[in-house]
Structure 1
Amino acid sequence: MTKLLMDPNESKTFIVFNEPHQYLTEGLKNLMQRILLEGPKWRLAGLFAFHHFKLLKHGLDDDIRAAGINWFLFANDNKKVYEDLAEQLKPTFDVETAMQTEAYHAIVITRFNGKRQSPFLMKALAPPSQRYPEYDNSFLTKRHARQYGRHWREIEKIIAQKEDMNFGT
């Protein structure tokens, strides 16, 4: 929300929602919908990572599909996942071909200049834990949570109060 107060030409911002079904509330769903549909004009983008559309509730799955966003469809053996995105896989892949493609990590489906591009296969780098020595900085997370954090319930109360003020209830 802070990004909405900034000059849209200053920078680009990405917000990562990793498996949002695990913590999705009505208020967060509304924010995600706003980011999906209105975010591009503010140079604000959401990165959504989840396993299956049915995990997302309250119509958020339809908003994600309708937003014209880029996809990284990671290799899996669930035919329904490919069937749900069959339109986006065309013209490069049909569902059967997408399922049988070997030696790839994801099928990438992108948009550039408002146009859907042909999907292609991607092979990813090894995870950072295999490429670099690991460093335990969990103490920083705890310190920053104490210094800057608020409990999510507190944030939801603030949002609810502001919504009540905006609607005069």
Structure 2
Amino acid sequence: MSQAATIQDGLIFRGRRRRQQGLVAVEFALLWIGGVLPLLLLATVAVSLFSIKQTLTLAAENGARAMLSYQPSMEARRQYACNVAQQATQWLQNYAGIGDVCQNTASTAGTTTGIAVSQPFACPYKTSSTGTSFYCVTVTARYNYAKNPFFPGTASLYGWIVSDSISSTATVQLDAGI
């Protein structure tokens, strides 16, 4: 009798061990789904937002530098600057499925995706040391993340990080003799 009880106790013990091993697998799955996956999603979204912002900054800077190159008219300079900036954002345009993003307005209004080159305006500082006045031109690159998110649902899920659109601006100073 005592031998049967020992065997019975041994079977119960082994049965509990098997059930415990299954419980560990379930706990691991719940921890993975509830803890690790949201962190990985947050990190992936952060990297994608960083790459978008870097692309827009590069586009605005390249567009501003292109304004310094010689063109026969100011309108030709503005168009050339927009084309150069558009080349830097080509992968974003391909992803969003949009064509020409050059806009003839002073800025990209609202939450549109695009590149805008402003008309020349008087710089806040009036003259140089030689008495020459300058004009400034602003190049703005904008991407509408709410309309074209990299990961569906992240615009609303991480709304505290992601606004409707992401933008970058660069300003170049031009001699008044343009």
TM-score bracket for this pair, using the shorter chain length: under 0.3
Give the TM-score taking structure 2 as reference length. 0.22
Normalising by the residue count of structure 1, what TM-score does the alignment of the two structures yield?
0.23
Structure with greater strand share of residues: 2
By relative contact order (CA 8 Å, sep 6+), the higher-ranking structure is 2
Which structure's CA Rg is the greater one?
A: 2
